Amino acid sequence: MALISFLGFTLLVGIISWWSVRKTDESSSDGYFLGGRSLTAGVIAGSLLLTNLSTEQIVGLNGSAYKDGLSVMAWETLAALAIVVTALFLLPRYLKGGLTTVPQFLAKRFDVTTKTITSGLFLTGYVVVLLPVILYSGSVAISGMFDVPGLLGVSDSTALVICIWGIGIIGSIYAVFGGLKAVAVSDSINAVGLIIGGILIPVFGLMAIGDGSVLGGLETLMAANPERFDSTGNPGQEVPFATIFTGMMLVQLFYWGTNQQIIQRGLGAKNLAEGQKGLLLAAFLKILGPIILVLPGMIAYYYFEGGLASSDLAYPELVRAVLPKPLMGFFAAVLFGAILSSFNSVLNSSVTLFGIDIYKQHINKNASETTVVKYGKVFGVCLALAAMFIAPLIANAGSLFNYLQEINGIYSIPIFTIIVVGYLTKRVPAIAAKIGILSGSVLYIISQFIIGPKMVANALAEAKANGITDPAELNMVEAGAYPHYLHVMAILFVSNIIIMLIIGKFYPRKEPFQLEYTKQVSIEPWKHVKLASGFIAFIVIAIYIYFAK
């Protein structure tokens, strides 16, 4: 029964997606890469949410909440503020410039080399880290939920490979052959399912610990461990409160405002007003994200009395314990949609970056738009195959959530820095952008993977030599031995801006940069954009104040 409902929902999404895109002209760059610049607010919001959500986040963030409590909600609530900034500041400029990719702006503002370096960094991060991790973590979830090894009579590793290739092939069909509109439409449908399915888990979880009452379960949870409902994290936790004012906000702004896989939905808006409405709707829904991504982990801590072997088991174990069996197939389909969405969204963005920024720019400058789309698809197929081969090699997927945020800092903050400087200044030259990317990446690598680990190891060795053996105390020693990676990001962000401004002072570009209006779409803002933005910001601040201990 579960398998039938899973296949039925998944097939329904595929049919609706095909019906929606059957008349879209995908022979042109706009048609294929940006859905013909026709995306409306609801589609943009749904696609943004599903692109953002994937199994390593659903499982990983709930695992973090199981361990640290409510403080990890910063990954969700602060996203709302970052989306507001994007809607007010970045999206109007993107649409004014008629961009298909974020690096295109860097070519206009600085030079083609800067654009190519940035596209290369994006693609490297997608191919080596993001795509394989999405495939691996998603396949572990699906294989476990349906007991694929037992169903097919194969080993766990063989079942994992089968799921990886199944997800990879289906995701490739959406992303490579359907273009952005197919991805966005399937995302929007799955978003509804994810919200319904995701809310069911904490609802049934609270009922399980509250004798059938959701409110009773919530009261029980808060009374049992009130300290875990503190919105301000401790230094030894994943999100110390101070990081909210430093690197955390920078990571959020990079992700929601400049990361190609995310902002591409906004670039495909039919006009600025629709884009802003879509972004702000997504921002409002992100405020509700902790209900799906944090609360289940906290329920699991109480339900299993903190006795799970690994915090990453919190979400899947809770699902198996509280979700009625008839709903298991629907929930698996929703989870499959989230996995598929993240995979095909990253893949579609990679195809876009390659076709526009590399193939057209460096391989065949005279290529027609049909040819650009054709070879973009070829690259997408190669990329998907590479990810499917790499994915089985990844281990410990559940612990990758925080680790991935740290790894992504190698390119995220340097790219965000040059985009900010590019829009806020007029005379900083191209050489400053190249130095900014290089210095930002190299200094971050030295800090986090050479100096940091050495100082932490020395501090732990000294602590143990002094007789400290308690895990909690050692954790505090580790946290205090070297600045949190989010603080390091903020320090390097400010440093890179200063370096770029100094270069701009002594070696300014000859002509001041002017952002031209390409008239691709209307850039008349939504009349309620400032009011809605203020309302969202107020809610986020109020949540933090209410739960602050």
Q: Are 433 and 418 in contact (CB under 8 A)?
A: yes
Q: How confident is the model at residue 501 (pLDDT cuts 50, 70, 90)?
A: very high
Q: Is 154's pLDDT higher than 80?
A: yes
List of residues 6+ apart from 526 with CB closer than 8 A: 272, 273, 276, 277, 532
Q: Is 17's pLDDT higher than 60?
A: no
Q: How confident is the model at residue 337 (pLDDT cuts 50, 70, 90)?
A: confident
- State the average pLDDT for the chain: 83
pLDDT per position as a tens digit, 379-398: 878 888 888 888 887 755 44
pLDDT of the residue at 402: 65
Gyration radius (Cα) of the chain, Å: 23
Q: Which residue has the higher pLDDT, 259 or 539?
A: 539
Q: Is 457's pLDDT higher than 80?
A: yes
The pTM for the full model equals 0.82
208 token code pair: 């399980």
Q: Is 254's pLDDT higher than 80?
A: yes
Q: Which residue has the higher pLDDT, 319 or 9?
A: 319
pLDDT per position as a tens digit, 57-72: 787 788 889 988 999 9
Which residue ranges make up each domain of the chain?
30-408+518-547
Half-sphere exposure in the Cβ direction for 165 (13 Å, CA): 6
Q: How confident is the model at residue 424 (pLDDT cuts 50, 70, 90)?
A: very high
Query: CATH: 1.20.1730.10, 3.40.50.2300, 3.40.50.300, 3.30.360.10. Which one for 30-408+518-547?
Result: 1.20.1730.10
Q: Is 27's pLDDT higher than 70?
A: no
Range of lowest pLDDT (37-51, 93-107, 175-189, 353-367): 175-189
Range of lowest pLDDT (10-24, 116-130, 381-395): 10-24
Q: Is 351's pLDDT higher than 80?
A: no
pLDDT of the residue at 180: 47
Q: Is 296's pLDDT higher than 80?
A: yes
Residue 234 DSSP label? P
pLDDT per position as a tens digit, 312-335: 778 878 888 898 877 887 777 777
What average pLDDT does this structure show over 437-447? Answer: 92
pLDDT of the residue at 397: 44
Task: Count CB neighbours of 187 within 10 A.
Answer: 32
Q: Is 24's pLDDT higher than 60?
A: no
List of residues 6+ apart from 210 with CB closer than 8 A: 216, 217, 218, 219, 220
pLDDT of the residue at 398: 44
Q: Which residue has the higher pLDDT, 12 or 507?
A: 507
Closest CA to 311 of 249, 204, 398, 225: 398
Tell me how far apart the alpha carbons of residues 98 and 298 are, in angstroms, rounded to a whole number.
Answer: 44
| 451-459: Cβ within 8 A, 24+ apart | 451/482, 452/482, 452/485, 452/488, 455/481, 455/482, 456/481, 456/482
